[in-house]
Amino acid sequence: MTSSAAEETISSLKTEALEQLSAASDEAALESWRVEFMGRKGRLTGILRNLGSLESDERRAAGAAANRLKGELESAFEEQVAAGKRSGASGAAPDAIDVTLPGRRPRHGRLHPSTQVIREMLDAFNEMGFQTVEGNEVELERYNFDMLNIPADHPARDMQDTIWINRERDSIDGGVLLRTQTSPMQPRTMEQQDPPVRIVSPGKCFRTEATDATHEWQFHQVEGLAVDEGLSFADLKGTLYEFARRLFGADRKVRFRCDFFPFVEPGVDMSVDWNGRWVEILGAGMVHPQVLRNVGYDPEKYTGFAFGVGPERVAMLKYGIEDIRHFFSNDLRFLSQF
Ligand code: FA5
């Protein structure tokens, strides 16, 4: 056997072996292939054995080619065994695409109705000059309550029965909780920048509510805050009227009533007419001087207004949804209507 003849034999053995291997579809065929080509008396082993009869130069070249082929056939064999296991007994790969099936339109996902309404609300406020900032769902007691003029013994805390993560008041930050409102973004923002401030901040809030048609234990709010020299209650009303006009149209009736929140003075809530019934969608008011002092702003120089809107309530009014509990029950029959 000359070197080139040996290399030619190796090359044609490769073609033949790979062809037969790809046709070996069951365990028995794979085993007889292995015995024929790779076994102790197999054809490749035979070639390797005969290398000794060649001249040393020729032996080196043919030996390298034969060893390369051995490696290639071994990995091709392993691959074929693995493919056989994947396809199971039927012999057809389970993930094979059946091109004879009729085409089907893929199901499209869509944004949750709360997200859609939040985006619409943010668009309205952004166009009025409010910048969007993001807050944390897990909040410090200090920002959720203390900085907002709600000290530990204040009865207003009871109205927001709270999901605590850690109740220890071992530092100025106090405990850790799932925020009950987006209002902590007021002091957090004011600590970071000097006036003028004009921000909106969307996000989730959590309270241990006894749920009913208009109360969930988790819901969203969009907080708003504007602080500058000379802002008045007229600015608050103008902003919220414009917001209601944008979201509900010019004909929808809205109503302001006095309300109490420790971080504003005076405080109001705004309700929207729903078939002759008033549904409250937001709390608002002029920022309390103590809240401005808490962040180092001078209340003699600056005034501001703040508001917190519930987008689920807004969506209920916009689309005639009669029960807020649909929003988080994850029922596609409800969610796919929006
Ligand atoms: C507040 O949470 C105040 N932080 C709002 C505020 C901000 C006042 C800035 C003044 C200045 P209240 O608890 O009323 O207030 O909630 C405000 C809005 O969030 C409600 O009008 C309602 O739309 C929504 N909301 C409150 N609780 C729930 C609930 N359990 N389920 C669904 N929406 C709720």
pLDDT digits 0-9 by tens, 33-73? 999 999 888 898 888 888 888 888 888 888 888 899 999 99
pLDDT number for residue 325: 96
- From residue 297, alpha-carbon distances to 171, 231, 262, 291 in Å are 24, 14, 18, 9
- Distance from the alpha carbon of residue 281 to the mean position of ligand 1, in angstroms: 7
- From residue 320, alpha-carbon distances to 1, 38, 218, 279, 315 in Å are 90, 74, 20, 12, 8
Contact 313 CB / ligand 1 (< 6 Å): yes
- Distance from the alpha carbon of residue 202 to the mean position of ligand 1, in angstroms: 12
For the chain, what are the domain ranges?
3-87, 113-335
Residue 12: both structure tokens together: 């044609």
Among all chains, which residue has been given the structure tokens 């993930």? 95
- Distance from the alpha carbon of residue 284 to the mean position of ligand 1, in angstroms: 9
pLDDT digits 0-9 by tens, 272-325? 998 889 999 999 999 999 999 999 999 999 999 999 999 999 999 999 999 999
What is the value of pTM for the model shown?
A: 0.72
**CA-CA distance, 305 to 170, in Å (whole number)?**
32
Q: Measuring CA to CA, which residue among 220, 219, 138, 217 is closest to residue 184? A: 138
Q: What is the CATH number of domain 113-335?
A: 3.30.930.10
The atom number, within ligand 1, closest to the CA of 216 reads 31
pLDDT number for residue 55: 84
Contact 224 CB / ligand 1 (< 6 Å): no
Sign of CA dihedral 296, 298, 299, 302: negative
Q: Measuring CA to CA, which residue among 157, 151, 219, 210 is closest to residue 182? A: 219
Kindly indicate the confidence band of residue 102, based on its pLDDT and cuts at 50, 70 and 90. confident
Q: Kindly report the three-state secondary structure assignment for every residue of the chain.
A: CCHHHHHHHHHHHHHHHHHHHHHCCCHHHHHHHHHHHHCCCCHHHHHHHHHHHCCHHHHHHHHHHHHHHHHHHHHHHHHHHHHHHHHCCCCCCCCCCCCCCCCCCCCCCCCCHHHHHHHHHHHHHHHCCCEECCCCCEEEHHHHCHHHCCCCCCHHHHHHCCCEEECCCCCCCCCEEECCCCCCHHHHHHHHCCCCEEEEEEEEEECCCCCECCECCEEEEEEEEEEECCCCHHHHHHHHHHHHHHHHCCCCCEEEEEECCCCEEEEEEEEEEECCEEEEEEEEEEECHHHHHHCCCCCCCCEEEEEEECHHHHHHHHHCCCCHHHHHCCCHHHHCCC
- Distance from the alpha carbon of residue 280 to the mean position of ligand 1, in angstroms: 9
Contact 180 CB / ligand 1 (< 6 Å): no
Among all chains, which residue has been given the structure tokens 């919220």? 240
Contact 219 CB / ligand 1 (< 6 Å): yes
Q: Which residue's C-alpha comes closest to atom 24 of ligand 1?
A: 310
Q: Which residue's C-alpha comes closest to atom 9 of ligand 1?
A: 307
**CA-CA distance, 47 to 309, in Å (whole number)?**
83
Contact 216 CB / ligand 1 (< 6 Å): yes
pLDDT digits 0-9 by tens, 182-216? 999 999 999 999 999 999 999 999 999 889 999 99
Contact 264 CB / ligand 1 (< 6 Å): yes
Contact 281 CB / ligand 1 (< 6 Å): yes
Note the residue count of the chain.
338
Contact 157 CB / ligand 1 (< 6 Å): no
